[in-house]
Amino acid sequence: MLTITSIKKGIVIDHIKAGTGIKIFHNLNLDKADYKVALIMNVPSKKMGKKDIIKIENEIDIDYAVLGLIDPNITVNIIEDEKITEKRNLQLPERVINIIKCKNPRCITSVEKYINHEFYLSNKSKGEYRCIYCDEVYSVQEN
């Protein structure tokens, strides 16, 4: 039986789609953390079948745009004194700047390196973004 103790003060990122926890782990640079961090994969879940969970024993600034982009269905729980003091449901951010890169080789961002890679949410239900320069689609589901 795998046991991971609860945390006193920190953050629990819950309801992560099974298999994508590692992506979030790396995006939040948790592999370089000098505090206690746990990535728990394939945890049984009534709602999801199985899920990933990340527990962070520290106060860190979470980039909610990055998290929302990776998986808008995840929940972020803020923990104080071993209790959840705040529950945040994420959603897809309207604008995404310098998180994803445009893959269109004809896009001007492939040449002019000084500009931001910027996307706007073009279809919320499909989780689709478009590059503000060339309109190339970035699908959250496919990435």
Partner 1 sequence: MAKMPIIDFHKLMMVFLLGGDKMLKGRHLLDPSDFSIEELSEIFDLADSIINDPVSFSEKCKGKILATLFYEPSTRTRFSFEAAMLRLGGQVIGFSEPNSSSVAKGESIADTIRTIACYADIAVMRNPKEGAPRIASMYSSIPVINAGDGGHQHPTQTLTDLLTIRSVKNSLENLTVGCCGDLKFGRTIHSLIKALGRYKNNSFILISPKELKVPEYILNEVLIKNNIQFKQVEKLEDVISQLDILYMTRVQRERFFNEEDYIRLKDSYILDNEKIKNARQDMIVLHPLPRVNEIAYEIDNDPRAFYFKQAKYGMYVRMALIMKLLGVD
In the complex, minimum distance from the CB of residue 110 to partner 1, in angstroms, rounded to a whole number: 7
Tokens representing residue 99 in the block: 């998180």
The residue from 31, 63, 86, 94 that contacts partner 1 (CB under 8 A) is 94
Phi, psi of 31 (to 5 degrees): -70, -15
Tokens representing residue 140 in the block: 């959250």
Phi, psi of 58 (to 5 degrees): -175, 160
Cβ contacts of 127 within 8 Å, gap of 6 or more: 72, 92, 139, 140, 141
Asked if 64 contacts 96 with a C-beta cutoff of 8 angstroms, the reply is: no
The residue from 26, 95, 101, 124 that contacts partner 1 (CB under 8 A) is 95
The residue from 16, 133, 138, 140 that contacts partner 1 (CB under 8 A) is 133
In the complex, minimum distance from the CB of residue 88 to partner 1, in angstroms, rounded to a whole number: 22
In the complex, minimum distance from the CB of residue 117 to partner 1, in angstroms, rounded to a whole number: 11
Cβ contacts of 26 within 8 Å, gap of 6 or more: none
Rounded Cα distance, 113 and 45, in Å: 44
Site string for partner 1, 38-77 (x = CB under 8 A): ----------------------------------------
The residue from 115, 124, 139, 143 that contacts partner 1 (CB under 8 A) is 115
Binding site for partner 1 (CB under 8 A): 94-95, 104, 106-112, 114-115, 120, 122-123, 130-137
